[in-house]
Structure formats: C-alpha cells, structure tokens
C-alpha cells in the first residue's frame, strides 16, 4: 500500500506541523498518515511539509509513503515534530497574496487536494485562507485544521492535544519537587520556584495546582499571567505557607506581569560577560523572596523539557492527539472543508469525550483564556471547577518503549519528492 503510486484520479494530501512542537503532535501525524493509508482508495499519497508550511512554499515535500508502517506507528510515542515545524506566519492576503498563490501552485503541481495543518490559532487562520483562496483560484482544496498547542488556548474544542501532557509533567514535577523540599525545609531550602510556559494564558501554570489534592496536601502558590503581580499579597502568602507547612512551592508562568504590564522576566540585567540577560522569571521571584523574607530558595526553569517530556505523557492526551489526526482525514473523506475536529467533553466522572467539528472561521485567531472562575479568589490558586476540568486531561500513562534504559524515539527518512515547479521560492 505504501508503495502504490498515486494515480491521477486520486488526490494527494499535504500535512504540515506548525508552531511550537509538543510531546504528542507526532501522534496526530500518525493518526493522519495511518488513516489516509487505510483509505488508499480515496487519498493518494501523504506529503509532509519539511519544516512546516515553509516546506510547501519551497516545494520541499516529504514523501511519507517511503516510511515504513513501523516508523509511522512509532510517531505515536515520539515527541517533537518529526517533519520539522516553524513559526512562520503567512501575512494577510492583502499584504502577501503571492505566498498564498505559491502554495496553491505547489499543491496543484503535486495533485494535492487535501491540506491538513497541525497547529494553533495562527495556523487555523492560514488553513482558512487557503481554503478560501483555492475556491477563488478554482483549484479546490479541502483544508482541515488539526488542533495542537501546549497553551490550550484554542476556542470551541474542550482542550488542545499537547496540553494534557505538559500539564501532567508540571503537576508530577511540582509534586516531586515539593516532596524534596519538604524533607529538607527544617534546616535548608524553604521556597522552591518552578517557571513554566504560558506567555498569555495560565493553563500550564494552573496544572501545578494538581500537585496537591485530597490525598496529598502540599502548599502550592501559582502566579498566573492573568493576574497582575501583587508583591505585598504574594509575600504575605509565602510567609503564611512557610509558617504552616515549613516550606512552599511556587509555580510561576513566564508571562507574569507587574501592575504596569511589564513582564517580571524582563529583568534588564547583564551577565558576567556584560550581555543583556533575558528571563527567566523564576530567579526574579526567588531573589525577591530571599531579599524580603530571608528564606533559602531553589529555582528551576522547565523550558523545553516540559513540552517534549513524552516519557510522562498523558494517555488521554495521546489518544486525543491521534484521534484528531484520524478525524481530520475522515472529515476530508466526508467532503468537509474549512473545519477542525474538536474534543467534546461529555462528562467528567467518568470522563467521556467524543469528536465534534468547528468551522475554521470560528476558530482562527481566537484565544481562549482561563475563565475567571478557574482562578481562586486570592489569585494564587485554582478552584474546584478548574480542578474538575484539568483532572481528566492528565489521566493515564502512555509510556514509550525503552531500550537500554532510554526511550526509543523514531527518526524518519524524510525523503523529498522531486520538485516540479521551475520557480524557486525562498522564504526569508
């Protein structure tokens, strides 16, 4: 099947990964490719953009039919973007129509009739525009968006594949570090600060709140980007928790701002080499605590570790990531266009979900923030409502295979399709 040449009757598909990668975006790729292979009577080959949409613009298309079924299956447990991703955002149609026209040309040259774009809000917008332009250029393309983002900020869908796994990583790490600090706090570190991703929305920081629950009482303070940093209230709470528990763990979003709207991470400092130093916010918070309260501290910055931690991925997240890829292909086969499959939550206990769909016009460029009733009144924690929402998303373990103590992640051959267009198009 993998070696069957595409006939002219069958339209090929194009798949690309967009924006920051996650622990499970390849599971969506796996869902797209495996499902397309199952429907080889409807879809020809699946070409993947090398380094995302740039691959389409530069006509650098990876022929996924050259990859073995085993390698494709391995994508399900491999973090990162196996085909390469990029943060390249297409300009508006008015500002750079040439880019969109180039995409359609490339798709035409390679007989591509399906466009699967795996990303966040920006890529949903690109997806929508391609669908619109293909109509006006009279080369029909069915454009389906596959949701992905650790930030969990896409609208309509209950949650975004990628988020559940980073949430699990943060919740587990915060619990483990809190146990560590608890054992030493009588004579040593009393304040532990963990910096997490989330410039605009506090979803990831909120997951730190799951470290403590009815069976495991831990003192956790969360600093959300949605809540302006109040130094006085914050320090009072740190003091209170240390008095009560002997220590406290602080989960701080990289996007926390002071009252004037300035990122706390923009410390304006220079380092030993005299270079301006950017971020992180964790040392800033830690130093503040020590200067004002005198507590010994430690701090950590999880950075890429949090979004690539496939070894502690959430099973529900992996399942949903795969399901979104699969559903995207099924929507395409059913004749849909300009849509995105979504996760629809049916119930919390037991957790039940199904697949819905959303029009891209309602998804593109809309950012879903934390609802106000997910943040506790004092601004430093999560509510039961938030807990009920987050809990199922981190549920289940889905361990990758190991060899010699190390997880076995796949690297693809990434064989490029021969270019057909004469014009070069270089993305700067």
Judged by CB under 8 A, does residue 304 bind its own copies? yes
**Distance, CA of 179 to CA of 185 (rounded, Å):** 10
Query: What binding mask, one character per residue, do residues 54-93 give for its own copies by CB under 8 A, x or -?
Result: x-----------------------xxxxxxxxxxx-----
> What is the closest distance, in whole angstroms, from the C-beta atom of residue 25 to its own copies in the complex?
9
Tell me whether residue 137 is exposed, middle or buried, using C-beta atoms within 10 angstroms of its C-beta: 0 to 12, 13 to 18, 19 or more: middle
**Distance, CA of 69 to CA of 420 (rounded, Å):** 27
Select from 114-122, 172-180, 329-337, 372-380 the region that touches its own copies (CB under 8 A): 172-180
Return the residue of 42, 359, 395, 419 that touches its own copies, per CB under 8 A: 395
Judged by CB under 8 A, does residue 295 bind its own copies? no
Return the residue of 2, 108, 235, 303 that touches its own copies, per CB under 8 A: 303
Judged by CB under 8 A, does residue 210 bind its own copies? yes
Judged by CB under 8 A, does residue 424 bind its own copies? no
Select from 28-36, 144-152, 177-185, 362-370 the region that touches its own copies (CB under 8 A): 177-185
**Distance, CA of 238 to CA of 248 (rounded, Å):** 7
Is 213 noted as a catalytic residue in this protein?
no
Inter-CA distances, 249 with 171, 285, 358, Å = 12, 12, 39
Site for its own copies in 402-421 (CB under 8 A): 402-409, 411
Neighbours of 298 (CB within 10 A): 17
> What is the closest distance, in whole angstroms, from the C-beta atom of residue 146 to its own copies in the complex?
16
Site for its own copies in 141-170 (CB under 8 A): 168
Tell me whether residue 74 is exposed, middle or buried, using C-beta atoms within 10 angstroms of its C-beta: 0 to 12, 13 to 18, 19 or more: buried
Judged by CB under 8 A, does residue 309 bind its own copies? yes
Q: Which residue's CB is nearer to its own copies, number 184 or number 366?
A: 184
Judged by CB under 8 A, does residue 382 bind its own copies? no
Neighbours of 238 (CB within 10 A): 23
Do residues 153 and 370 make contact, with C-beta atoms less than 8 angstroms apart? no
Catalytically annotated residue among 63, 122, 125, 151: 151
Inter-CA distances, 235 with 191, 291, 380, 388, Å = 11, 11, 11, 28
Select from 128-136, 208-216, 340-348, 359-367 the region that touches its own copies (CB under 8 A): 208-216
Select from 111-119, 270-278, 340-348, 352-360 the region that touches its own copies (CB under 8 A): 270-278
**Distance, CA of 88 to CA of 122 (rounded, Å):** 9
> What is the closest distance, in whole angstroms, from the C-beta atom of residue 344 to its own copies in the complex?
20
Q: Which helix (H) or strand (E) holds 369?
A: none
Q: What is the total count of residues that contact its own copies (CB under 8 A)?
A: 93
Site for its own copies in 316-345 (CB under 8 A): none
Do residues 388 and 158 make contact, with C-beta atoms less than 8 angstroms apart? no
Strands 352-359 and 402-403: unpaired
Neighbours of 125 (CB within 10 A): 22
Return the residue of 69, 354, 399, 420 that touches its own copies, per CB under 8 A: 399
Return the residue of 12, 14, 20, 339 that touches its own copies, per CB under 8 A: 20
**Distance, CA of 231 to CA of 214 (rounded, Å):** 29
Judged by CB under 8 A, does residue 272 bind its own copies? yes
> What is the closest distance, in whole angstroms, from the C-beta atom of residue 134 to its own copies in the complex?
25
Neighbours of 39 (CB within 10 A): 14
Task: Report, as residue numbers or ranges, the catalytic residues.
Answer: 151
């Amino acid at each position: 099947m993998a070696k069957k040449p595409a006939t002219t009757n069958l339209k090929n598909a194009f798949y690309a990964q967009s924006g920051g990668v996650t622990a499970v975006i390849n599971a969506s790729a796996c869902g797209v490719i495996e499902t397309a292979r199952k429907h080889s009577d409807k879809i020809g080959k699946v070409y993947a953009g090398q380094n995302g949409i740039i691959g389409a613009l530069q006509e650098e298309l990876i022929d996924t039919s050259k990859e073995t079924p085993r390698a494709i299956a391995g994508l399900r447990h491999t973090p990162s973007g196996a085909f390469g991703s990029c943060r390249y955002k297409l300009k508006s149609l008015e500002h750079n129509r040439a880019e969109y026209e180039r995409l359609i040309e490339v798709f035409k040259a390679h007989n591509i009739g399906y466009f699967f774009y795996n990303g966040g809000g920006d890529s949903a917008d690109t997806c929508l525009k391609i669908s619109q332009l293909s109509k006006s250029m009279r080369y029909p393309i069915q454009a389906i968006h596959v949701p992905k983002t650790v930030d969990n900020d896409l609208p309509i869908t209950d949650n975004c594949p990628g988020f559940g796994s980073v949430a699990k990583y943060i919740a587990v790490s915060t619990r483990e570090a809190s146990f560590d600090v608890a054992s030493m706090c009588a004579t040593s570190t009393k304040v532990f600060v963990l910096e997490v991703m989330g410039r605009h929305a506090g979803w990831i920081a909120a997951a730190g709140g799951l470290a403590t629950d009815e069976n495991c009482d831990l003192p956790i303070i969360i600093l959300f980007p949605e809540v302006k940093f109040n130094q006085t209230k914050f320090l009072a709470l740190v003091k209170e928790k240390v008095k009560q528990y002997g220590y406290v763990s602080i989960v701080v979003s990289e996007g926390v701002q002071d009252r004037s709207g300035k990122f706390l991470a923009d410390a304006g400092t220079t380092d030993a080499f005299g270079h301006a130093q950017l971020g992180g916010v964790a040392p800033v918070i830690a130093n503040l605590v020590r200067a004002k309260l005198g507590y010994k501290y430690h701090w950590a910055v999880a950075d890429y570790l949090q979004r690539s931690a496939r070894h502690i991925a959430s099973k529900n997240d992996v399942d949903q990531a795969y399901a979104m890829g699969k559903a995207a292909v099924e929507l395409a086969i059913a004749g849909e266009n300009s849509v995105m499959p979504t996760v629809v939550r049916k119930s919390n206990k037991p957790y039940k979900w199904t697949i819905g769909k959303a029009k891209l016009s309602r998804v593109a460029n809309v950012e879903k923030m934390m609802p106000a009733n997910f943040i506790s009144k004092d601004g430093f924690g999560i509510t039961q409502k938030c807990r009920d929402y987050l809990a199922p998303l981190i549920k289940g373990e889905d361990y990758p295979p190991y060899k010699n103590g190390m997880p076995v992640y796949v690297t693809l051959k990434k064989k490029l399709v021969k270019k057909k267009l004469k014009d070069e198009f270089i993305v700067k």
